[in-house]
Amino acid sequence: MPIVAQVTFIELNLCVLIVRCSMSPNAQITSHRKPRRTATQSWVVRTGVAGGVLSTLAVAGAGSATAAEKPTESTLEMPAVNATLATSIAQSAAATQQTAFDYQVRAQQDDAAGKAKTDAKKAKEEADRKAEAEKKAAEAQEKRDAEQARASRTSERSALGTKSASADDSDGSGSSAGSSAKKSSATGSSATLVDYLRAQVGKAYVMGSTGPSSFDCSGLVMSAYNQIGISLPRVSQDQSTAGTQVGLGNLQVGDILYWGAAGSAHHVGVYIGGGKFIGAQNPSTGVVERDLSYSPPTGAVRVM
């Protein structure tokens, strides 16, 4: 029931109650305890009671009205809540945007780093190619220089061999016969030495062997000189210093050729004239006769 209707109903009931009380038979009886009140006084009292009741009801109604208005006040607080939520959403959006920006910056940095790495790799590969090309060019130039130097030495030795061969031919004629005989009687016969060496061509190379079926380089030289009565040291290092050092441009038949430094040579052979030598080269070739250009020696010693 509405509050106004409830108040009206209560007021009517109070009025009825007041009328009944005023019409009661007991109202004219004088109380032995209290003096009887006049009708005016009774009406004032009743009116005061009714007014107090009505005031109480009014206060209750006002409280009810206030209670009824609370949803309105709650509704008015919603904008504040919405503003807070909007602020939170804005902050979240800003954080999301910042995160997206950070990801974009990081992606750009990664792309830049990857590109720099690729460029560095390409530059290194290009530098390696250039270095390799320069190295090959230097090796080719060095090889050409070595071939030119070898060709020059070969020309000189060929000329020397021709001169030596001419000298050998003159040993068998007229005035040269006496000096040739003198050389043979003093140091043995160079012809015997050459004949022995040529007889060994084709035999096997065996390290440490001194004949008669196989030789190593120093074993062949020692065995050949034994044929003409000259004793030599056993190894190539000692044979390279056994006689008098001579220049490669002044070779004679029977000179000992060596490869490597004097005193530490690693290979020896014998010059037989005509720009040729005989030596026990290696296990694959055995004892061979070769031109000096095949393997130019480092130096020579003369023991005859």
* pLDDT at res. 141: 72
My answer on whether 163 and 290 are in the same domain is yes
**CATH code of residue 283:** 3.90.1720.10
Q: Could you tell me if residue 72 is inside a domain? A: no
pLDDT digits (tens, 9 = 90+) for 234-267: 999 999 999 999 999 999 999 999 999 999 999 9
46 burial via Cβ count (<10 Å: 0-12, 13-18, 19+) = middle
My answer on whether 50 and 160 are in the same domain is no
pTM value?
0.41
Sheet holding 244-246, edge to edge: 244-246, 299-302, 256-259, 267-273, 276-282, 286-291
Report the range of poorest mean pLDDT among 34-38, 94-98, 171-175, 297-301: 171-175
My answer on whether 161 and 295 are in the same domain is yes
| Ranges 58-67, 141-150, 182-191, 294-303, most confident | 294-303
DSSP-assigned beta bridge partners for residue 277: 271, 290
Task: Please tell me the total count of domains within the chain.
Answer: 2
Q: Could you tell me if residue 135 is inside a domain? A: no
Tell me the CA distances in angstroms from 61 to 4, 56, 67, 139, 233, one per residue in order.
8, 8, 10, 117, 145
* pLDDT at res. 251: 95
Q: Could you tell me if residue 176 is inside a domain? A: no
Of residues 183 and 102, more confidence is placed in: 102
Q: Could you tell me if residue 211 is inside a domain? A: yes
Q: Could you tell me if residue 214 is inside a domain? A: yes
My answer on whether 164 and 277 are in the same domain is yes
Residues with Cβ within 8 Å of 233's Cβ and at least 6 positions away in sequence, in order, are: 218, 222, 239, 242
Of residues 76 and 113, more confidence is placed in: 113
Of residues 144 and 186, more confidence is placed in: 144
* pLDDT at res. 227: 93
Q: Could you tell me if residue 186 is inside a domain? A: yes
Domain that holds residue 44: 1-25+37-63
| DSSP 8-state code for residue 210 | B
8 A C-beta contact, residue 236 and residue 268: yes
What is the band of 89 on the pLDDT scale with cuts at 50, 70, 90?
confident
What is the band of 168 on the pLDDT scale with cuts at 50, 70, 90?
very low
Q: At residue 98, what is the residue type?
A: Q
Q: Could you tell me if residue 44 is inside a domain? A: yes
Domain-ending residue, one of 63, 79, 109: 63
Q: Torsion angle, CA of 68/70/72/74, rounded to 10 degrees?
A: -150
Q: Could you tell me if residue 129 is inside a domain? A: no
Of residues 276 and 38, more confidence is placed in: 276
pLDDT digits (tens, 9 = 90+) for 8-27: 556 566 655 655 655 555 54
- pLDDT at 165 exceeding the cut of 50: no
